[in-house]
Amino acid sequence: MSDAPNESRRPHPQPMAAPFLEFDIARELEQLHGEPGWQSGHNGKTLVKYDRLRVVLIALRWDSGGATAALQDSLQRNKPDILASYALIGAILLLGGVGYGVDRWAGTSPWFLLIGLVAGILFGFYNLVSSVRSDAS
C-alpha cells in the first residue's frame, strides 16, 4: 500500500474553528413577544433567509390548562363511546385471530377465519349499539 493520498477521493473540508451563525435566542424571543402580531397569534420569526436555507424561530404559547382541561373533559364525556369502538376492533381482531388459528390447526382455511370475523363484527356492533343506547337513556 502506498502512503500517497488517493487522488480519486474528494478531500474533506477542514473542521470549523468557529460557528458561522450565532443567535441570542432569549433576545429573539423577547422581540417576538413584544411584536403586535404575537397577541393575534403570530408565533414565528425568520432569523436567516437564503435561497436554499431558512432558519425560523417558532414560539408556542403555553395554555395554562384551558386546552388540556377541555381535552380531558371531552375524553371523559366520550369515554363509553371510545371504549365501545375499541371493543369493536378488539372483538374483530380477537375472534378473527382465533378463527385463523383454528383454520391453521384443522387445515380448513378460510372457513373458521370467516366465521370468527363475522362473529367479531356481530359481537362488536352489538356492544357498540348497546353502549350508544345506554348513553341515550
pTM of the predicted protein model: 0.48
Q: What are the residues whose beta carbons fall under 8 Å from the beta carbon of 96, sequence distance 6 or more? A: 113, 116, 117, 120
Locate the domains of the chain by residue range. Answer: 13-61, 76-136
Q: Is the CB of residue 87 less than 8 Å from the CB of residue 94?
A: no
Question: Contact, 55 vs 21, CB < 8 A?
Answer: yes
Q: Tens-digit pLDDT profile for the chain (137 aa)?
A: 455 555 556 666 666 666 677 888 888 888 888 887 777 777 888 888 888 888 888 887 766 666 777 778 888 888 888 888 899 999 999 999 999 999 999 999 899 999 999 999 999 999 888 887 877 76
